[in-house]
Amino acid sequence: MNNPIPTTPPSGFRDHLPDACARRARAIETISSVYRSFGFQQIATSAVEDLAVLLGKGGGENEKLIFKIMKRGEKLDAAKAAGEELADAGLRFDLTLPLARFYAKHGSTLPHPLKAFNIGPVWRAERAQKGRYREFYQCDVDVIGSEDVGAEIDVISAILAAFDALGVPGVQVVLNDRSYVYEALAHAGVPEDKRQAACVIIDKLDKVERPKIIQELSETIGSPSTAQLELTLLRNEPRRDIFTASGDLVGQKQFAKLDAVVAAVGAERARVDPSLMRGFDYYTGPVFEFRHPGFSGSIGGGGRYDHLTEKFGTRQVPACGGSIGFERLLLILEGEGAQAEAGADVCMLVFSEETRGKALEAARFLRARGVSVDVFPGSGKLKNQFKYADQKRAAWAALIGPDEAASHVIKLKNLKTGQEILKPIEEAANLFGAERANSPV
Amino acid sequence: MNNPIPTTPPSGFRDHLPDACARRARAIETISSVYRSFGFQQIATSAVEDLAVLLGKGGGENEKLIFKIMKRGEKLDAAKAAGEELADAGLRFDLTLPLARFYAKHGSTLPHPLKAFNIGPVWRAERAQKGRYREFYQCDVDVIGSEDVGAEIDVISAILAAFDALGVPGVQVVLNDRSYVYEALAHAGVPEDKRQAACVIIDKLDKVERPKIIQELSETIGSPSTAQLELTLLRNEPRRDIFTASGDLVGQKQFAKLDAVVAAVGAERARVDPSLMRGFDYYTGPVFEFRHPGFSGSIGGGGRYDHLTEKFGTRQVPACGGSIGFERLLLILEGEGAQAEAGADVCMLVFSEETRGKALEAARFLRARGVSVDVFPGSGKLKNQFKYADQKRAAWAALIGPDEAASHVIKLKNLKTGQEILKPIEEAANLFGAERANSPV
């Protein structure tokens, strides 16, 4: 068939069908409502950012993540002629960097500290694979302007409460402070120029088998240092004494903060994991990750990023934020037996074009009383219309043919039980109301 | 100051501050909920589409609207070397074209006819100016697979109901059928090669002064034809007899459809405007536009596009859709005295780090009872914390200092009246509940 125009979205991008879409919308509403009930205020930033914002001063590893947007018109021609960069903007790859820009611009006009949340899509030009998309949602919640552990507690509590409200029980938060990792590396005698490489290996602990990690570490930093790290980083509890030994009070203070979070959230929902690093390099100390028993890897995470606003020429502002991995959340919600979405209370069939007026009048009457009414857009064969009502999962089908119109009644069919009844339309409104009151939705 | 990284979004893009963001989110929820109650199902498509989808077979005038996304890696290098197109994708510029692609891909698995809605941002590389943005939301609602006027009625009724639910009264729908414009042009003796140009001029009627339109028309198609058009197109009512004269039954049928819409919606909310064209060239007959008495230009529109899915190699499928101009809607909502957003029920102040535990415990207790609680993320000076509670527009401030903790009470201050009370925390929960029940929100 001659069909040069594709009907699928680009690789890594998705369409969302009605059931999935309703689930996504409902999850976003639940998360927003929980974040709001914690006093976080919703903000939004543009999908497109200047390339200078996305690349920062250095560019670096983020550059290959960015979907770049081409200059237009004369600017594009000039750039081509001069052999310069052809793009002037790009799609945001996370919501944290835009938030830092937003705060640098608007922070002084907003409550202080700023408790903000932002829910929306981000885009990454990574290789698309099963479960990893190039367009996906993030649900960020941040406190900007507070160095107190209250910020971490607020962010983590709000995210845990959101998981609870979503009906995803058993989510735990795993905490660490990056300074512990650095201290453990020093304690194990890892030379400074090898520490970055060691961090990259350790960061893979939740994805790669432990023996393989040990082997990679041995090859990179030698067996003696690796053996030391097995006693400090690669265990379930941090060895706090390595800070005491070095007399580092900062380290003690960091542990006190982590302990405060565990106390606030509850020991059954929080634990310290000495090897936790988190990927982003803007984190400055505390980091955390949300884990679900039925899911390997994390379903959310965050940390403190006290220097990000400095990029925008703003004085140093302490900040802490976290995010729900929305696409992974949806996998869990779908895995736990996603229910088909309920349809309208009633699907109004249309006997003929002549009786459409009666059908519309009844629909208007019922809607004014809070009943949702899906009017069949055409008319014609009732068999097709009943099929439509079934496909749309309406609770009832309704019909006003010439006979019903003459007797001022409406014919109703319960699509679950098959029961048929004739009623004056005024009474029908109560029927749907009762139906809804008993429904589990 | 040395600050090379911009803190503003690119030209034509916007940040949304908390109050605006809350208004936008609430409007979207209202619109979604009305669309849903009419039996429309939400769908979503990707922000990024293949360039071939956006350009279609011809490209044409849409091409300059598109924010193009550059190829990446080897593909980019190869395209540069070969002097080929450097972009392979772009940001969608409307939601109708993606819907047609979506339907070509998924339509056979969905209820028939498909009643769908899609709310989301679109991007247009137009010159940014006051009130016109390069990133803006559309709220589309469509019926695909029905050629009956029931589709137009459904779409238009849902949009009018959405405006009602949003508290924007007085919105009217203006209707026309493009075939009337073409017939009137033929009737006025406008030669075929001038008709397109005449349409472009007539389409500006809602933006340009009438005398200027007449003058432009005279220059393009001559005074006699223009005089004829004044009697047919440039008046308040269509001259139906021009169809009768030509014996065109199709035209009579189109008027019957428009009449059916007016009858269904009510003559006080709908009228036929013989000159209405609408911009998009994919409309095939009926077109409509939503107008608000306090706003020049339209605040929404739509029409029938019976051939759009053919682009994607699908058989011809009748379709009809409309859209709310979301950014204009927001201007109206803001113009009608936008209220500041209410904050949390209570802002929990933190006397000291030592009493944070008590504050968090109280917050947890209240939240479990449906009270929204904004905990101050830091501690320290109470004056700053009261200022924060005011900025956040909390209804009450609450404090558990050492004295209150010892007496198992919570100190509450009504931030509107200044009234202070001490209460056991169990009783406080009822207080906020009562407060909310009386609030107008």
Residues of A in contact with B376 (CB under 8 A): 150
Q: How many CB pairs under 8 A join A and B?
A: 317
CA angle A344, A348, A352 (to 5 degrees): 155
Residues of B in contact with A15 (CB under 8 A): 43-46, 102, 105-106
Q: Range with the lowest mean pLDDT among A54-63, A233-242, B167-176?
A: A54-63
Facing A375 at nearest CB: one of B154, B161, B343: B154
Residues of A in contact with B56 (CB under 8 A): 5
Q: List all residues 6 or more positions away from A339 whose beta carbon is below 8 Å from its beta carbon.
A: none
How does pLDDT run across B289-313, given as a tens digit for each residue?
A: 999 988 888 999 999 999 888 888 8
**DSSP annotation string for A306-328:** TTGGGGGTPPP--EEEEEEEHHH
The pLDDT-based confidence of B128 (bands split at 50, 70, 90) is: confident
Residue B110 Cα, gap to closest chain A Cα (Å): 8
> What pLDDT was estimated at residue A255?
86
Residues of A in contact with B365 (CB under 8 A): none
Choice between A173 and B339, residue whose per-residue pLDDT is larger:
A173
> What pLDDT was estimated at residue B13?
97
Distance CA A31, CA A41 (A): 12
Domains present along chain B, CATH in parentheses: 13-47+92-168+293-341 (3.30.930.10), 171-282 (no CATH), 346-434 (3.40.50.800)
Tokens of B250: 């199709």
Is B148 at the interface with chain A, CB within 8 A?
yes
Taking each helix axis from N to C terminus, what angle separates A249-265 and B356-368, rounded to the nearest 10 degrees? Answer: 30
Q: What percent of chain B has pLDDT over 90?
A: 69
> What pLDDT was estimated at residue B250?
66
Distance CA B428, CA A287 (A): 35
* Chain B from 283 to 312: CB within 8 A of any A CB: 311-312
Question: Which whole number is the average pLDDT over A372-398?
Answer: 95
pTM over 0.90: yes
**Residue B49 near residue B98 (C-beta atoms within 8 A):** yes
**Residue B134 near residue A47 (C-beta atoms within 8 A):** no
Residues of B in contact with A8 (CB under 8 A): 105
Q: Is A353 within 8 Å of B148 when comparing Cβ atoms?
A: yes
Q: Is B3 within 8 Å of A313 when comparing Cβ atoms?
A: yes
How does pLDDT run across B399-415, given as a tens digit for each residue?
A: 999 999 999 999 999 99
B75: left (phi over 0), alpha (psi -120 to 50) or beta: alpha
> What pLDDT was estimated at residue A434?
52
Residues of A in contact with B17 (CB under 8 A): 43, 106, 109-110
Q: Is A89 within 8 Å of B10 when comparing Cβ atoms?
A: yes
Distance CA A327, CA A336 (A): 14
Is B409 at the interface with chain A, CB within 8 A?
no
Facing A56 at nearest CB: one of B5, B21, B42: B5
Q: Is the pLDDT of residue B191 over 60?
A: yes
Beta strand segments in B223-379, E = 270-272, 286-292, 295-304, 319-325, 346-348, 373-375
User: If you average pLDDT over every residue of chain B, what do you get?
Assistant: 90
> What pLDDT was estimated at residue A60?
65
Q: List all residues 6 or more positions away from A441 whose beta carbon is below 8 Å from its beta carbon.
A: A342
Q: Is the pLDDT of residue A399 over 90?
A: yes
The pLDDT-based confidence of A393 (bands split at 50, 70, 90) is: very high
Is B18 at the interface with chain A, CB within 8 A?
yes
Question: Which whole number is the average pLDDT over B357-361?
Answer: 94
Question: Which whole number is the average pLDDT over A175-193?
Answer: 91
How does pLDDT run across B210-264, given as a tens digit for each residue?
A: 999 999 999 999 999 999 999 888 888 888 887 766 666 667 788 889 999 999 9
Question: Which whole number is the average pLDDT over B134-147?
Answer: 96
**Residue B358 near residue B425 (C-beta atoms within 8 A):** no
Choice between B237 and B280, residue whose per-residue pLDDT is larger:
B237
Tokens of B3: 């600050």
Distance CA A269, CA A163 (A): 12
Choice between B375 and A205, residue whose per-residue pLDDT is larger:
B375
Q: Which amino acid is at B243?
A: F
The pLDDT-based confidence of A244 (bands split at 50, 70, 90) is: low
Residues of B in contact with A10 (CB under 8 A): 46, 48-50, 88-89
Choice between A413 and B179, residue whose per-residue pLDDT is larger:
A413
Q: Is B18 within 8 Å of A161 when comparing Cβ atoms?
A: no
Q: Is B15 within 8 Å of A106 when comparing Cβ atoms?
A: yes
Tokens of B110: 């969905």
Facing B25 at nearest CB: one of A3, A15, A42: A42
Q: What percent of chain A has pLDDT over 90?
A: 69
**Residue A164 near residue A47 (C-beta atoms within 8 A):** no
* Chain B from 157 to 216: CB within 8 A of any A CB: 157, 161
Q: Range with the lowest mean pLDDT among A113-127, A243-257, A317-331, A376-390?
A: A243-257
Residues of B in contact with A87 (CB under 8 A): 70
Is A266 at the interface with chain B, CB within 8 A?
no
**Residue A393 near residue A341 (C-beta atoms within 8 A):** yes
CB atoms within 10 A of CB A359: 26
Is B146 at the interface with chain A, CB within 8 A?
yes
> What pLDDT was estimated at residue B342?
85
**Residue B301 near residue B318 (C-beta atoms within 8 A):** no
Residue A221 Cα, gap to closest chain B Cα (Å): 33
Choice between B390 and B251, residue whose per-residue pLDDT is larger:
B390
**Residue B90 near residue B49 (C-beta atoms within 8 A):** yes
List the one residue out of B197, B49, B72, B399 whose CA is nearest residue A65: B72
Residues of A in contact with B106 (CB under 8 A): 15, 17
> What pLDDT was estimated at residue A438?
45
Is B256 at the interface with chain A, CB within 8 A?
no
The pLDDT-based confidence of B438 (bands split at 50, 70, 90) is: very low
Q: In what order do the strands lie in the sheet with A114-123?
A: A41-42, A114-123, A135-144, A319-325, A295-304, A286-292, A172-177, A270-272
Q: Is the pLDDT of residue B439 over 50?
A: no
